[in-house]
Amino acid sequence: MAIGHDRLEAMSALDALLYRGDEHPRMLSVVGGLYLLDGPPPRRSLLRSLERATRAFPRLRQRAVVPPLRLVLPHWVTDPDFELENHVRQVAVAAPGSLREVFDAIRPELAAPLDADRPLWEALILTGLEGQRSALFFKMSHALTDGIGALQLFAALFDDGARPAKTRLPPVPRASDAALKPVELQQQVLARLPQAAAAAVLRLLPGLTDAARSAMHDPAGFARSAEDYLASARRVLGLPCPPAPALAGRSLERRCAGLTVPLPGIKRAARALDSTINDVYLAAIAGALHRYQLATGFEPADVPLAVPVNLRRGDETAAGNYLGSLTLAAPASLPDAANRLDAIRRAVAAGRAEQAIRAHSLLAPLVARMPDAVLERLLKQVPRADVQASNVPGTAARPKLAGRSVLAAYPFGPVPGVGAMITMLSVAEECFVAAHFDPAAVTEPEAFASCLRQGFAEMLEAGGQSGEIDAPILDHGRACGR
């Protein structure tokens, strides 16, 4: 659906924070989807598919206008100079063209910020793969959307069953405000500030009135409620266990690994274990972390594990981030898979029930407006999980891109000050698990990839399924060019 820009479209505070993260190498928010195709797509068809996606998901045609004063959030405007070809590149991977060489090619792309003067995405066509295959690597800033919103983006990118050349393209988004300069934007927003503040007060007034009434009628109960919320906020914003010594290092280097797990096996294992797919996924990661600590000579300890929480109600636009976050104590200290799964179930249930589950979103408007120096000091002081894990539901059918079947789809998330980011995406009958990690934290990458495979195999077997999983893919670890 096309949208116009007759009025300014401010970034949400959370989107603005992610955008500002791209200014700091340790907080870079680039995400990427690697799609292995069964053959080289015709360039004309691929460009048409990308054109369709930019029209159906207009954020792909928008660039950020950043006011000089941090108190004014950046705004999205449609780029009048948008040219699709400026966002599409082609690269031949090194011989022999296996997925290891493909991972080598995308690793520096994940570590490189996007051009802030253009819409924040790029598509990289990878050729020279063995078996006459090809790949598309689509990278974008996390400021554009979250995982659920990205599903709508890729629904527009992939073929819907019709021949790509025959599908009608959506209309081109308008660009009436695109020539707006940063200083002009700042002046316009500041001029509207009194009205915006008054509107905000009116929105908050019913809640403030209810809170005042509650405090007057039941002061003790109101105090207890406030204490309970603050305690919940401390749990949501803090770490539930100490960082793991085995994952203590941090650097700007990155490595990539991938794993393919059968989705029917995970589904059947989840049913047999009276759990969700997500519970089994997180328990597999906890099992991998248990094994990895043993393999590297450490006594297994619980590991702080951050998990995003979808806060969409269903009426939001596809663009933008609507996320909360839980940080769990991944039970990597436990040697038994059943006990780890039970601990995960209880931790996830308790986390989702937290009163302050939206605390990150409530704090974002303040943090997003902080001066650079203050924000940098804050980022250094905020405790970070050792691992982040995200599970994104994909498509039930195997999609096509520009007429070529998608054989694999690896979702690579950012590594914002953590040791590793692990993401799972389901496509047809397979789950593709991508690990993007810091080799200063994960000092034994081969062991880590092997332990990840064993963690999933263990959970499949615990649910009565075959634990046979293909060997993981790991890049060669050459310097990523930072």
What pLDDT shows up at residue 205? 46
Q: How confident is the model at residue 222 (pLDDT cuts 50, 70, 90)?
A: very low
CA distance 472 to 458: 15
CA distance 329 to 243: 10
What pLDDT shows up at residue 296? 98
pLDDT at 383 over 60: yes
Residue 82 near residue 455 (C-beta atoms within 8 A): no
Q: How confident is the model at residue 361 (pLDDT cuts 50, 70, 90)?
A: confident
In a domain, 195, yes or no: no
Residue 321 near residue 14 (C-beta atoms within 8 A): yes
Residue 58 near residue 51 (C-beta atoms within 8 A): no
Q: How confident is the model at residue 480 (pLDDT cuts 50, 70, 90)?
A: very low
Task: Looking at the structure, tell me whether residues 241 and 157 fall in a common domain.
Answer: no
DSSP string, 53-109: HHHHSGGGGEEEE--SSTTSPPEEEE-TT--GGGGEEEEEPPTT--HHHHHHHHHHH
User: Which tens digits make up the pLDDT trace of 446-471?
Assistant: 999 999 999 999 999 999 999 999 99
Would strands 387-395 and 303-310 be described as parallel, antiparallel, or unpaired? parallel
What pLDDT shows up at residue 192? 62
CATH code of the domain containing 39? 3.30.559.10
For the chain, give the mean pLDDT: 86
3 state SS of 222: helix
Query: 228 or 366, which is more confident?
Result: 366
Q: How confident is the model at residue 186 (pLDDT cuts 50, 70, 90)?
A: low
Which domain does 447 fall in, by range? 237-474
Mean pLDDT of 268-279: 96
CA distance 45 to 136: 13
The answer to whether the bond into 308 is cis (omega within 30° of 0) is: no
Task: Looking at the structure, tell me whether residues 315 and 441 fall in a common domain.
Answer: yes
pLDDT at 209 over 80: no
What pLDDT shows up at residue 227? 73
Q: How confident is the model at residue 213 (pLDDT cuts 50, 70, 90)?
A: low
CATH code of the domain containing 270? 3.30.559.30
Task: Looking at the structure, tell me whether residues 452 and 318 fall in a common domain.
Answer: yes
In a domain, 222, yes or no: no
Mean pLDDT of 331-345: 97
Matching residue, tokens 């709508």: 152
Task: Looking at the structure, tell me whether residues 453 and 325 fall in a common domain.
Answer: yes
Residue 418 near residue 386 (C-beta atoms within 8 A): yes
DSSP string, 323-386: EEEEEEEE-TT---HHHHHHHHHHHHHHHHT-TTTTHHHHHHHHHTTS-HHHHHHHHHHS---S
What pLDDT shows up at residue 5? 39
What pLDDT shows up at residue 328? 93
Q: What sign for the dihedral angle of Cα 21, 22, 24, 28?
A: positive
Task: Looking at the structure, tell me whether residues 418 and 303 fall in a common domain.
Answer: yes
What pLDDT shows up at residue 359? 80
Task: Looking at the structure, tell me whether residues 170 and 254 fall in a common domain.
Answer: no
In a domain, 225, yes or no: no
Strand locations in 238-316 (E):
255-262, 303-310
3 state SS of 51: helix
Domain count, the chain: 2
What pLDDT shows up at residue 161? 53
In a domain, 201, yes or no: no
pLDDT at 10 over 50: yes
Task: Looking at the structure, tell me whether residues 137 and 245 fall in a common domain.
Answer: no
Please tell me the number of Cα atoms within 13 Å of 245 on its side-chain side. 8
Task: Looking at the structure, tell me whether residues 318 and 428 fall in a common domain.
Answer: yes
| Active site positions, annotated | 142
What pLDDT shows up at residue 109? 95
Task: Looking at the structure, tell me whether residues 418 and 331 fall in a common domain.
Answer: yes
Task: Looking at the structure, tell me whether residues 142 and 37 fall in a common domain.
Answer: yes
Task: Looking at the structure, tell me whether residues 248 and 324 fall in a common domain.
Answer: yes
In a domain, 111, yes or no: yes
DSSP string, 151-198: HHHHHHHSB-SS-GGGSPPPPPPP-TTTT--HHHHHHHHHHTHHHHHH
Edge-first strand order for the sheet with 75-78 is: 9-10, 75-78, 62-65
Our CA angle for 475, 443, 339, nearest 5°, is 100
Task: Looking at the structure, tell me whether residues 180 and 269 fall in a common domain.
Answer: no
In a domain, 412, yes or no: yes
In a domain, 182, yes or no: yes
- What is the distance between the terminal CA atoms of the chain, rounded to a whole angstrom? 38
In a domain, 319, yes or no: yes
